[in-house]
Structure 1
Amino acid sequence: MANDTNDALFDPERTAYLPPLPVPGGAAQSHAHARHAEQPAFEALFAPSAPESIPPEGIAGHAAGAAAVSGARRRHVGLIVTLCVFAALLVALVGGFFGARAYFADRVAPGVSFGGTSLAGMTADEARNVVAAKADESKIAITASDGKTATVSLKDLGVTADVDGTVMNLLNAKSGGTLGAEIARINPWASSDVPLSLSTDKLALANALTERFVHEDDRAVASTVAYADASSNFAVTAGRDGQSPIAQPVEQAVAAVAERPGTVVNASVTYESVAMPVSVGTAQQAADQANARLASKLVVNNGSKKSFTVPAAEIAKWIGFDTDPEQGTVTLKYDDAAVKSYLEATLPNELKQDMVKASVVTNKAGAVMTTLREGVDGVTVTGVDDAVTAVTAALHSGESATSTVKTETTKFETESRAVDYDSPNGDPHVVVNLSEQKVYAYKGSTLVNTFLTSTGKLSTPSDNGTFFVYIKYESKTMRGADYVTPNVPWAIFYNQGEALHGAPWNPDGIAKGEPRSHGCVNMNVADAKWVYDFLPVGAMVQVVGTTPTAAVRAS
């Protein structure tokens, strides 16, 4: 080649531009060389040299190389653009998925319909309104074989629409636990039509058809069981033979309404002569089973001093009957929700136990002489779930059961009062001497007063022993096996039903010292008032001596 410098710029074997060589002494060439040195590597690789620097024999190679570089450059840029677009789409899709999933988390999913109406995007309350409205609009148009017709609502046929359950099914439609299921849930092209949840009381349905299509005198009536308040048990009302509509076509129409809520579905009804749909014997068996449950004892305690027995009248409210006229059966059913609700509301109050301090009387050495009041732990109910489970299981099985609630316990405290009955002028107490028919009042060892009395007669004697006053009444009606005495004054009870008290009806017996009472210590009213004021609750009453057979004092 004539121009070695230009030859060096391009090498056909490499199909790429090479750096130009410096030409000494050439200003233009030196300037070009300097500019080339300042260019970035990208320009050094891809910027072509001036045309005049390419020799004629290198033009073809130069063109081929330029074309190859240009194609590579376009492919490189296209790949970058494609990757950017793909990344943007991916980000949009991921963002859209998470956004849609969050939005429809508590709403009806796209593609979900009810009765042919799309409910996509509705909240539970909005869906509930639609479901309730369509349930109300659902009707069965019945035509009987004798020409009678009636268009009846679901409710009138004894069919219950579970609105809340249907709404829950709508909200859960197309749901799943996997990522694929989550994607499918928000896919608007994946559809799901949710039916109306219905439950049918077959006895109510049969009765509804009978009432509309069969004259009262011609009806076949099932024997039924119901709770009778007067007898406090379940009793049977006998049925009778007669005509009855065949309910199966209506039941099929109800099933069709579930799939097409909000519509009117036709049904044809024919009649048949039937025996009593449910016999008296079958109904009586169910009544006996129910009454056995009323007789069972369902007891719940608090693990301490209190227990609660569920009243039979309450148990009766939990028992119902499923009567199937087609099968001629009556089976017991139970309202478990009512059991739970009742026990949760009742047991915390019935089994609550207030803490009661124990009260004791001690001597000077601290030994307990008597307990005036038993201590009671405080108990608070903290949970009734175990009792609910036990009572529900016993109700179903017909057996008695005793269960215990969960509680928190507060231990009772003890308060004591020390007394001194041995020292002069100590604490007040009395001694009843049966032999002498007298009452002696002491302060410690000091005698401070003496009174006449009439104690229990030989057939109902006053008990000997050491007792303590546990309650006092200014006036009290006193009862026994053969007497009722109202307004007994200044009664001081120390031994169950035995008391010192005023006896205005027995002044003669008191004066003579003749035992005449049913076991109490009769005193003159003024004397009884003095002792009432003298003795505090917890004071000692000692009864000594022997009941005499006659008066101990002359009249």
Structure 2
Amino acid sequence: MRFSYRPTHLTPQHRRRSLATNLRWLAAAATLLAVAGGGWLAFGYKPLWNPEQSAQINAARDSACQRSVTLRLGDNSFLAKPDQVCSWLHPVPQPTKQLSPQPLPSPQFDVNAITQWVHSCTSQVEKPAKNGSRQVDSKGHLVSLLKDPVDGAVVNHPNNLVSQIEKALNSSNGNVEVAAKLSPRKGGFDDTVVAAPAMPYAPQPQERWVDVNLTNHTTAVYDGTKAIYGPVAAVDGHAQAPTVQGIYKVYAKLDMQTMTGVGYDGPYSEKAPWISYFSGNFALHGAPWRSSFVYTPEKGSHGCVNLSVTDAKAIYDLISIGTTVVSHT
């Protein structure tokens, strides 16, 4: 008969060795499990979409890449073609869970890429305003208009355009089209203060009269020595058709007339509003065909005093038959 001796009491040293041995065996078993196909337990493992899921995701992205975006800014139109729109897609996110099923990600567009494109479009149509220049007296009254201001343009609410495009791309199908209006940026004036011109006429107290300054190319209405309208910019006669000089009286007023004749530049026919005749065929009147009232010798009138329609109407309403008109250099 054989007897097997199994000690029931181990020294503390033996017990420590047995524990260490067991831990080493457990570590080895875990390694074998990972190598044999239990890789989902390994440290640093990232879950991936399986081939079928990847195919579905790519099909949705391919469909999103067939779309275009049209941006209309005022009268200007910009087109982002499908290949450009496709470049705005976010990368495909990987699954966040290892074993549990989860919905497939739909194509999502990068708002920063959309913003960059929208801003590149708006920068092509937005323009800064440019100031004009003029001479004024110490009270701020116009002495001479030297250069017109040039209005600029700004796109209304460009960030709203980004939001509209992003929402449409992420939540609907088909091509996208958005639009915005342009608002003007008004130009101002750079003023130079100069001495006020000398009074060309000695009026009676409270006498209403019209000053036509052919040096500074302005027109104003006075009561006595007080200006009640203007001075405003005016275009008087060309060197070959100068405006008459002297003291005259308004003898006729017409709210509209087609003025015809043969001038220094040939025959003309101009439909003019708010006409106040003061000497022969010379008159104060509106000139709607003019976009600028900065006087240049080569663009002078056929002899009349051309005013903006607004100024011509104001002066027409302030004067009457018999009002004095002083035309001078």
Query: Normalised by the size of structure 2, how large is the TM-score?
Result: 0.34
Q: Select the structure that is richer in helix.
A: 1
> Larger relative contact order (C-alpha < 8 A, sep ≥ 6)?
2
Query: Normalised by the size of structure 1, how large is the TM-score?
Result: 0.21
